[in-house]
């Protein structure tokens, strides 16, 4: 079945550092890909998405590019802030289904 | 954007009692709602998918009689944890889809319910 693999955390960075969280997927067909963020004590929020190969999703300085050839959707940010500390989940949906398949999540801590 | 409201946001109950969690779509009709459980330091695990007016579809390993799901209207789904035990303590999250056949369909999440069974 479909699956998502994320780099294991936790990840600890200093403010203004460059962030990469790796995400690869296994799926038949052409899934849509998502990054969700869960801030401490809150529910999941959609951070960005991409629906076809070579699409780039971006939001709040975060970016991820849908790479079909490497089945990847790595999350990047050029300069992280303390407020970016959260758990980040990579996910996919298949075709017209709204059923999400999640990775295990990567906890990011950004220190001042 | 679409709003999904989950209530309560946290609840503490005694072992052996039942707890009901509500999930409402506030500004759209949700043909399909999903219930997830999040264990500490783990990902969200899909428990069941509920469709309005029909029985929920449970994922493998999820006890149907313990986690009762009712999707009585296009804006409301409820999850009842029956005869709760401490091992049921977890973070429960619902999400709702607009039921579109669009390839770009995305789910909207409630804020989650922290259940603690003592």
Check B42 against A89: CB less than 8 A apart.
Answer: no
Nearest chain B alpha carbon to A42: B111
Check A105 against B43: CB less than 8 A apart.
Answer: yes
CB B53 within 8 A of CB B75: no
Count of CB atoms situated within 10 Å of the CB of B60: 4
Give per-residue pLDDT as tens, A41-50.
777 888 999 9
Give per-residue pLDDT as tens, B35-71.
999 887 777 888 998 888 888 999 999 999 999 999 8
Q: What is the pLDDT of residue A40?
A: 83
Numbered residues of chain B with Cβ closer than 8 Å to any chain A Cβ: 6, 32, 34, 41-44, 46, 49, 93, 95, 97, 99-112
Q: What is the pLDDT of residue B94?
A: 93
Can you say whether the dihedral through the CA atoms of A41, B4, A44, B15 is positive or negative?
positive
Position B1 pLDDT exceeds 70: no
Count of CB atoms situated within 10 Å of the CB of B86: 9
> CA-CA distance, B94 to B77, in Å (whole number)?
9
> CA-CA distance, A18 to A7, in Å (whole number)?
16
> CA-CA distance, B67 to A51, in Å (whole number)?
33
Check A43 against B49: CB less than 8 A apart.
Answer: no
């Amino acid at each position: 079945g479909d699956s998502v693999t994320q780099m294991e955390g936790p990840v600890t960075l200093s403010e203004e550092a460059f962030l990469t969280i790796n995400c690869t997927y296994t799926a038949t067909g052409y899934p849509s890909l998502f990054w969700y963020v869960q801030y401490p004590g809150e529910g999941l929020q959609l951070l960005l998405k991409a629906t076809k190969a070579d699409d780039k999703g971006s939001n709040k300085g975060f970016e991820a590019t849908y790479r079909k050839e490497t089945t990847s959707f790595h999350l990047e940010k050029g300069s992280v802030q303390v407020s970016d500390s959260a758990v980040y989940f990579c996910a996919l949906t298949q075709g017209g289904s709204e059923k999400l398949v999640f990775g295990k999540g990567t906890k990011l801590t950004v220190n001042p | 954007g679409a709003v999904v409201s989950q209530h309560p946001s946290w609840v503490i109950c005694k072992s052996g009692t039942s707890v009901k969690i509500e999930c409402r779509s506030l500004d759209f009709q949700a043909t399909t709602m999903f219930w997830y459980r999040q264990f500490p330091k783990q990902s969200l695990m899909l428990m069941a998918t509920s469709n309005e007016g029909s029985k929920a579809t449970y994922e493998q390993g999820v006890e149907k009689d313990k986690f009762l799901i009712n999707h009585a209207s296009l804006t409301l789904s409820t999850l009842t944890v029956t005869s709760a035990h401490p091992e049921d303590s977890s973070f429960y999250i619902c999400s709702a889809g607009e039921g579109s056949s669009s390839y770009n369909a995305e789910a909207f999440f409630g804020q989650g319910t922290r259940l603690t069974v003592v």
